Amino acid sequence: MTQHLATRFTLYGVLLALALVFSFPLYWMAANSLQPLFTGMTWFPERPTLANYRLAFTLQPYWMFFRNSCLLALISVGIPIITSFFSAFAFARLKARFKGVLFMVILATMMIPPTVTQIPQLVLFKQYGLLGTYWPWIISGLGGSPFIIFLYRQFFMNVPRELDEAARIDGCSTFAIIWRIYMPISIPVVATAAIMSFNASWGGDYLAPFMFLQERQYPLSTQLMQVGYILPSSPNVDLFQVKQAALLVFVLPILVVFLFGQRFLISGIMTGSIKS
Amino acid sequence: MGKAERRESREFYMLTFPWLVVFLLMSLYPMLYGLYLSFTNFAGFNYENVRYVGLRNYNNVFLDSDAMFALGRSFYIGSLNVLFSTVFGFLIAVLLNNKFKAIGFFRSLYYLPAILPITAVGLMWKQLFATNGVLNDFLSWIGFQPINWLGYDHAAMSLLILLSWGCGGGIIIYLAGLKGISPELYEAAAIDGAGAFRRFRLITIPLMTPVIFFNLVFGIIGSLQIFAQATLLSSNGGLMGVPIRPIYLYLVHTFQQIFMFQRYAYGLALLWVLFIITILLTLIVFGTSRLWVHYESGERKGG
C-alpha cells in the first residue's frame, strides 16, 4: 500500500512538473508585459502597470493589424465551413465513378507542403492582379478546405442512412436533405471545423499574407514577426515589455476560443487521426 | 448503369464541382506551373523572355554547398524533432491515461502550447533563451554556468526545445489511441502474470503502432518544412531573418534565394527537390509499415 502511495505521489509530481514546463513561458510573457519599462526581465512584476498595453496600441497601428487579422479569419473560417458541406456530403453519401480517386486527391492535397503551391501562386497572382486583395483567400474558400471536407465526411458517414432515405421517400431533393437534415445535426462538427480553421488562420497564416498582401493589410501574425517595438526618439532602444504586451493581446483570442471550445478542438484532432 | 445511379453520379459531380475547379486552378495548376518555372531562367520579372534552361537549376541545387548544408541541418533537426515529439508525446499520453484527479485540466494545459501562434512562441522563446534570460537565471540558481542558448554550440538544441514544447497535438492523438485499447487485454495479461513493463511492451506499443505511424508520416512532412521557428530565433529576427549556421534550415535557404535574391526558378527547384524527398520518405514509411505496424485482424485502421 505504501509502495502504491509513493508511486502515485511521484506520478503527481511528474504531472505538476510538466504542467509548469508547458505553462511557464506564457506566464512569463504575461508577467513581463506588466513590468515597468527599462527594468529588465522579471519572474514576478512587483509594481505591475498597464502602460505597456497602451504603448503597444499607440506606437504601432495595432488596431489596424488586429482588424486585418479579424478580416482574414472571417474569410478563412466563414466561407469554407459552409462550402465544404456540399463536397463532404457527396463523398459520404453519393455513388459516382472516380469517387475513390477524387477522395485520394483530397487526402493527397492535405499532405502537399503548402510552399510548393504558394510560391507559383505568388507569380500567378501578380500576373492576374490579385496581389493586395483578399481574392486568394476567398477563391480557395469557395472550393472548401480539404481538411474540413474530410472532417465533415467522417461525421456524415456515421449518420444513419435511413434518415435520408426517409426524406427521399417524402420527396426531398438532395439539396433539401443537406439543408434540412444534415446542416442542423452537424453543429458540433461545424464548431470543430470553425475552431480549427480559426487557429490555423489567426496564428498559422503568416507567410501567405507576407507574400500576397501589402504591409498595411498584414495580420498580426505577420506584422508582429516583422518589427519590434522601439522608442520613436531612439530606434536602438528595444521596448521588450511592450512587445510582450502586444503578443499577449495577439494570443488572447486563441486562448479564449480554446477555453470555450477545446472539447470540439480535441474531437477534431482525433477524427483527423484515428477514425480514418 | 441505372437511371438512379446516373442521377446520383450527376449530383456527385454537381456538389463537388466547386472544390474540383478550385483544386485545379489554385493547387494543381500552380504546382505544375511552378514545376515548369523551375526548368527556366525566371527571376520574378522577366515574363517576356522566360527561357527553358533544362536541368541547370536542379544541377545547381546539388552544387550549392549552402543548400546541401541546409538540407543536412533540416534532416538532422527534423529527425530529432520527430523522435522527441514521438517519444515525449507518447510517454505523456501514457501518463495521462492513468486515473488522476483533474486529468482534463492537465491535458488542456499540455495541449495549449501546440495551438499558440508560431509568431508568439518564437518571440517568447527568444526572450527565454536570452543570455540574461530566465533559463540562465534558472541554471545559475541550481548552480550551473549560464549557457549561450542561441550561440553556435547550443542553437540546435534550443530550437529542438522550442519544437518539443509544442508536442501537445501528438499527446491528444496518442491518448485517443490508448483509450481505444480494451482493458480486458491488460486484465488477461495480468492474470497470466505479465508485469507492468511487459504489458506495456507487448500490448500498448503494438496496438499503438497505427497511431505512431500516422504521427510519423505527418511529423516527417512537417519537420522538413520548419522555417519560421528558426528565423525568429535569429539575431535580426523577422520572417526573413538569417539564423546562424546550426539552425540554417533548408526552407530558410530557399526563401532567402526567392525573396532576397529574386532567384525564383532556382528557389522552385529547391522546393521541388524537397518535395520529392518528402514523397520518397513518406513512401518508405508506408512501404515498411507492413513490417512494424500492427493491424487488428480483418480491420485496417490508421493512416
Mutate to test the interface with A, among B3, B5, B7, B12 (most CBs of A within 10 A): B12
ipTM, 2 dp: 0.89
Say if B37 falls within a structural domain.
no
Better-predicted residue by pLDDT, A226 or A216: A216
> Using CA atoms, how far apart are residues A12 and B134, in angstroms rounded to an integer?
25
Would the pLDDT of A2 be above 80?
no
The whole-number pLDDT of residue B300 equals 46
How far is B153 from chain A, CA to nearest CA, in Å? 23
Say if B35 falls within a structural domain.
no
Residue A204 has a CB neighbour count (10 Å cut-off) of 18
B5 touches chain A (CB under 8 A): yes
Say if A218 falls within a structural domain.
yes
Question: Per the CB < 8 Å rule, is A119 touching B34?
Answer: yes
Q: How many domains would you assign to chain A?
A: 1
A207 touches chain B (CB under 8 A): yes
Would the pLDDT of A271 be above 80?
no
B224 chain-A contacts, CB cut-off 8 A: 113
The whole-number pLDDT of residue B280 equals 92
- Distance in angstroms between the alpha carbons of the first and the last residue of chain A: 43
SS3 content of chain A, % helix, strand, coil (to 5): 75, 0, 25
Average pLDDT over residues A27-50: 86
Q: Which residue has the cell 502586444?
A: A246
Mean pLDDT of chain A: 89
| pLDDT tens over chain B, length 303 residues | 678 888 889 999 999 999 999 999 999 999 999 999 999 999 988 888 899 999 999 999 999 999 999 999 999 999 999 999 999 999 999 998 888 788 888 888 998 999 999 999 999 999 899 888 889 988 998 989 999 999 999 999 999 999 999 888 888 888 888 888 888 988 899 898 888 888 888 889 998 888 888 888 888 889 999 999 999 998 877 888 899 999 999 999 999 999 999 999 999 999 999 999 999 998 998 888 888 888 765 444 443
Question: What percentage of chain A reaches a pLDDT higher than 90?
Answer: 59
Which residues form the domain of B261?
Answer: 62-292
Listed in order, strand segments (DSSP E) in chain A are none
Say if A245 falls within a structural domain.
no
- Which CATH number characterizes residue A130's domain? 1.10.3720.10
Q: Among A198-212, A260-274, B39-53, B281-295, which range has the highest average pLDDT?
A: A198-212
Which residues form the domain of A193?
Answer: 61-226
A65-76 per-position pLDDT tens digit: 999 999 999 999
The whole-number pLDDT of residue A272 equals 64
Residue of B nearest to A23 (CA): B109
Mutate to test the interface with B, among A269, A271, A275, A276 (most CBs of B within 10 A): A269
Average pLDDT over residues A1-23: 84
Would the pLDDT of A100 be above 90?
yes
Q: Which of A27, A147, A8, A23 is nearest to A87 (CA)?
A: A147
Say if A31 falls within a structural domain.
no
Question: Per the CB < 8 Å rule, is A99 touching B301?
Answer: no
Average pLDDT over residues A30-59: 87
The whole-number pLDDT of residue B297 equals 52
Residue A234 has a CB neighbour count (10 Å cut-off) of 7
The whole-number pLDDT of residue A3 equals 59
Show Cβ contacts of residue B124 under 8 Å, excluding neighbours closer than 6 positions.
A25, A26, A28, A29, A247
The whole-number pLDDT of residue B296 equals 63
CB contacts < 8 Å between A and B, how many? 247
Say if B215 falls within a structural domain.
yes
A116 touches chain B (CB under 8 A): yes
The whole-number pLDDT of residue B84 equals 93
B272 chain-A contacts, CB cut-off 8 A: 116
Say if B177 falls within a structural domain.
yes
B 207-236 near A (Cβ less than 8 A): 211, 214-215, 217-218, 221, 224-225, 228, 232
- Which CATH number characterizes residue B224's domain? 1.10.3720.10
Would the pLDDT of A60 be above 80?
yes
Say if B303 falls within a structural domain.
no
The whole-number pLDDT of residue A229 equals 80
The minimal CB distance from B116 to the residues A139, A203, A262 is found for: A203
The whole-number pLDDT of residue B275 equals 95
How far is B151 from chain A, CA to nearest CA, in Å? 20
Say if A107 falls within a structural domain.
yes
Q: How many domains would you assign to chain B?
A: 1
Say if B86 falls within a structural domain.
yes
Would the pLDDT of A240 be above 90?
no
Question: Per the CB < 8 Å rule, is A144 touching B11?
Answer: no
Say if A257 falls within a structural domain.
no
